[in-house]
């Protein structure tokens, strides 16, 4: 089954467009998990308590890489614990010359066996192609288009030939690749642009981060998206709902809340 289909099925199964970001950090978990070797138990608890509420888990590699080899082990253990029917997104924001991207694609799709990856378009189409074609058509690459952070204004919003760089990225990827093999990352902090962009790419899956701690307004996002294919990511605001023994139950409550308002 392709990731595109798997994502549609997972959304239907759990009646949810919520993606939960497993941004693990020993400084933010309850004290009983402060030892790195116990972080896997934290992730397992979170997964156990939310797996019927999310369509996807997003693994942000930075949070794992900060622990080196132990972090990579945690990454692999976490991925293999996620139920088969839930889409796993490698939030790695990779991208390099083609010969290198081939290896990054192998890492996230073959070695780690995740369903999707986030990629950075700055180096151009040939840097993205190994994540999208050449045997990986059934996977899905979410292309950064307009990110949720203030710095998105620095280069993504620059205008060229009457369009922003973000729009150039979207147009170029949308016209060159199968629409089921790619998606786009549009931050929840830009509902106006989201509405505008949504018109031009109605059939693309969007990955929308920036809700919760980053301050994106969910109602505005939902209105701008018009019910078209999209998943909305929340990380810290769900998994770090409590530092007490009840952390997993509190995370579940928050996930229930987000699933509901994302309907």
Is 243 a known active-site residue? no
26 near a copy of itself, judged by CB under 8 A: no
Strands 56-60 and 18-21: parallel
43 near a copy of itself, judged by CB under 8 A: no
The one catalytic residue in 9, 44, 51, 93 is 93
Q: From the CB of 15, what's the least distance to a copy of itself, in Å?
A: 29
Mask 120-149, x = binds a copy of itself (CB under 8 A)?
xxxxxxxxx---------------x--xxx
By beta-carbon proximity to a copy of itself, the closer residue of 125 and 256 is 125
Size of the site for a copy of itself (CB under 8 A): 57
By beta-carbon proximity to a copy of itself, the closer residue of 4 and 131 is 131
Mask 84-123, x = binds a copy of itself (CB under 8 A)?
---------xxxxxx-xx-xx-xx---xx-------xxxx
| Extended beta strands in 124-256, E state | 140-146, 159-160, 163-164, 182-186, 205-208, 230-234
d(CA 92, CA 118): 6
9 near a copy of itself, judged by CB under 8 A: no
d(CA 11, CA 8): 5
Q: CA neighbours within 13 Å on the CB side: how many for 181? A: 17
Residues 177-236 that bind a copy of itself (CB under 8 A): 214
d(CA 91, CA 186): 14
Q: From the CB of 202, what's the least distance to a copy of itself, in Å?
A: 24
165 near a copy of itself, judged by CB under 8 A: yes
Strand partners for 206: 184, 230
The residue behind tokens 């292309």 is 143
Residue from 12, 13, 153, 261 that binds a copy of itself (CB under 8 A)?
A: 153
Q: From the CB of 219, what's the least distance to a copy of itself, in Å?
A: 22
Nearest CA among 245, 149, 240 for reference residue 255: 240
Q: Is the dihedral of CA 61, 77, 105, 86 positive or negative?
A: negative
d(CA 52, CA 40): 19
Query: How many CB atoms sit inside 10 A of residue 68's CB?
Result: 10
By beta-carbon proximity to a copy of itself, the closer residue of 30 and 98 is 98
- The helix/strand/coil state of 30 is coil
Q: Which residues are annotated as catalytic?
A: 93
| Contact positions vs a copy of itself (CB under 8 A) | 23, 25, 60, 62-63, 65-69, 71-73, 76, 93-98, 100-101, 103-104, 106-107, 111-112, 120-128, 144, 147-156, 158-161, 165, 168-169, 172, 214
């Amino acid at each position: 089954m392709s990731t595109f289909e798997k994502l549609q099925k997972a959304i239907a199964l759990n009646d949810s467009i919520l993606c939960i970001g497993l941004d693990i950090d020993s400084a933010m978990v309850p004290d009983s998990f402060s030892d790195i070797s116990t972080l896997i138990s934290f992730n397992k608890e979170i997964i156990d308590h939310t797996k019927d509420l999310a369509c996807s888990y997003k693994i942000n590699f930075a949070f794992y890489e900060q622990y080196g080899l132990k972090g990579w082990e945690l990454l692999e253990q976490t991925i293999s614990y996620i139920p088969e029917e839930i889409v796993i997104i490698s939030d790695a924001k990779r991208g390099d010359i083609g010969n290198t991207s081939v290896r990054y694609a192998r890492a996230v799709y073959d070695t780690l066996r995740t369903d999707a990856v986030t990629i950075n378009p700055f180096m151009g189409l040939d840097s993205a192609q190994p994540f999208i074609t050449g045997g990986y058509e059934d996977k899905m690459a979410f292309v950064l288009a307009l990110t949720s952070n203030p710095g998105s204004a620095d280069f993504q919003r620059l205008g060229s030939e009457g369009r922003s760089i973000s729009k150039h990225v979207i147009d170029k990827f949308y016209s060159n690749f199968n629409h089921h093999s790619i998606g786009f990352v549009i931050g929840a902090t830009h509902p106006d642009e989201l509405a505008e962009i949504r018109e031009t790419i109605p059939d693309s899956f969007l990955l929308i981060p920036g809700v919760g701690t980053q301050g994106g307004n969910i109602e505005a996002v939902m209105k701008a998206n018009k019910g078209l294919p999209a998943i909305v990511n929340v990380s810290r605001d769900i998994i770090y709902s409590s530092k007490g023994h009840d952390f997993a139950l509190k995370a579940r409550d928050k996930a229930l809340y987000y699933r509901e308002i994302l309907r």
